[in-house]
Amino acid sequence: MTPAANHNFDPTTLREYDIRGIVGETLKDADANAIGRSFGTIIRRSGGSRVAVGYDGRTSSTGFETALVAGLNAAGIEAVRIGLGPTPMLYYAVYELACDGGIMITGSHNPPAWNGFKMMLKSRPFFGADIHGLGKMAAAGDWETGTATNEAIDIMDRYVDRLLQGFDATQDFTIAWDCGNGVAGPVVERLVRRLPGTHHLLFTDVDGTFPNHHPDPTDEKNLVDLKRAVAEKDCDFGVAFDGDADRLGAVDGQGRVVWGDQLLGILAEPVLKDLPGATIIADVKASQALYDRIAELGGKPLMWKTGHSLIKAKMQETGAPLAGEMSGHIFFKHEWYGFDDGIYAAVRLIRAVAQLGGSLTDLKDAMPPMVNTPELRFQSSEDRKFKVVEEVLARLKAAGATVDETDGARVTTPDGWWLLRASNTQDVLVARVEARSTEALARLQHDLDSALAESGVAPTIVGH
C-alpha cells in the first residue's frame, strides 16, 4: 500500500466509542491503514512502542488486519498479532503481554456487511474525543514515521486459563452454549472441556456470514435455537454471545430470557457479599427493579450512560467492582480487569447460580414482576437521531416532566418510566418502557409514540 500524505474518514464512521462502517462503502483498507498510522502515532507520542491487534470472523477482517498492521509499523509501532478471537481476548492480551494499547477489528453485532475498530489505550478505553482527535490527526497527516516489526502470538490457551482462575463451582450443571458462529466458538470449545457438568455447544464454527442466526442475544428471535436446545437437552440454563463475544445473553431452564439487567442483579449478589457497600453501575435502559435490588443488597446503585467505553471510564472513576448494560455487556473489576467479557460473565454466572442455590430458574422466579418492553429501535438517520432526542427533551422539560438526562431522556411518571436515546452504533433511536401493569405500560408507550410522532418519527419498530 502506497503511503498517503493524509486521510479523511467518512464522518459517519467516527462513532462515540469505536470506528464502524459498511465495508467497501464507508470503510476500506485505506481507513484501516490510517487508523493504524494515527493510533500508532498516539501510542508513540505517549512513550509506547507495542500494540496488540486482534480480529473477528468477518470476511473483511483479515484484510483490514493487514492494512492496520502496516499503518502501525509505518508509525514505528510494533504490532503484536493475536489473530482470530473475541474482543475481550484482545483486551486481555494488552494486560498479559504488557502492550501499550490494543485494536480489535470487529463489527460486533452489526450485519455481515459491517466492520469496525475498537481501541484501548493502555488500560483505559479510547473513545469520544479520542476518536474524533484521531480523525483530525489523519486529516492533517500529523503522523510519526518509522519502521517496526510485528509478532504473532497465540494467547487463547492462556486466556482460557485466566477465565477459569478462581472458578469454585462444583455443581454439575447441564448448560447449552450458543456461539452464533461468532468468535466465542473456539474459546468456548476449550473452556467447557475443563468445566464440571454437561455442555451442549451450538454454532461454534466461526463464519462471518452468520448462517444460523444473527449474533445479537438482545433480540429474542436470535435465541430460538438456544431455547430449543435447553428444552431438548433438559438443560439447567443456556447462554449466548454476540459476534465478538463481549456480550452475554441467557435463558433459564424454562427457556425464559434472563435479560442483561436481570443477569447483573444475580451477578451483583456474590460481589456485594465480598465487597459490602460497593458501587454497582448500570446503564439508563436498566429496570428500576435492578437499582432497587442493588440497594436491597447493601450496594450503591449508579445509573450511567449506555456504551461500553463510557461504562468502563465511569468504573475507573468510581472504583466500582461491577457494571452492566441492558445489552449484555457485563464488566467485572472484581477478580478481573474491568472490561466487558461475555465468556467470563458466563463463567461468573455459573459460579453465582451455584452460590445462590443452584437454579437460575428459581432466581428468575424470585424477581419482582415488572411489565416492560425489550429494547425498541426506531429508524432515524445519522444526522437526525440526536436532534430528535433534543427536541423531545425540550418539550418534556417545557411541560414540567420528571426527566433524567444522563443519556437521552428517561421519563419517570407514577405509571413507571420510558427512555429515548440515540444509538451510538446504528442509525436508530433506542427506547424502552417499564411499568407496574399492562395498562400502565400501554399509557407509557402511547406517551413515547406521541413524543416520537411530534418529531416526525414513524412508530414502526425496526429489527436489530
Catalytic residues: 108
Return the half-sphere exposure (C-beta side, CA atoms, 13 A cut-off) of residue 394. 8
Nearest in space to 105 (alpha carbons), one of 71, 61, 67: 61
Q: Which residues of 287-302 are buried (b: 16+ CB within 10 A; e: fewer)?
A: bbbbbebbeebebebb
Name the grid cell of 262. 436481570
Q: Give the span between the Cα atoms of 247 and 215, in whole angstroms.
A: 10
The string of DSSP codes covering 153-165 is ---HHHHHHHHHT
User: Which residue(s) pair with 416 in the sheet?
Assistant: 413, 435
Q: Give the span between the Cα atoms of 107 and 113, in whole angstroms.
A: 9
Q: Give the span between the Cα atoms of 36 and 159, in whole angstroms.
A: 25
Q: Give the span between the Cα atoms of 41 and 460, in whole angstroms.
A: 44
Give how far Cα 49 sits from Cα of 76, 321, 366, Å: 8, 30, 51
Query: Residue 209: which residues within 8 A CB-CB, separation 6 or more?
Result: 59, 112, 181
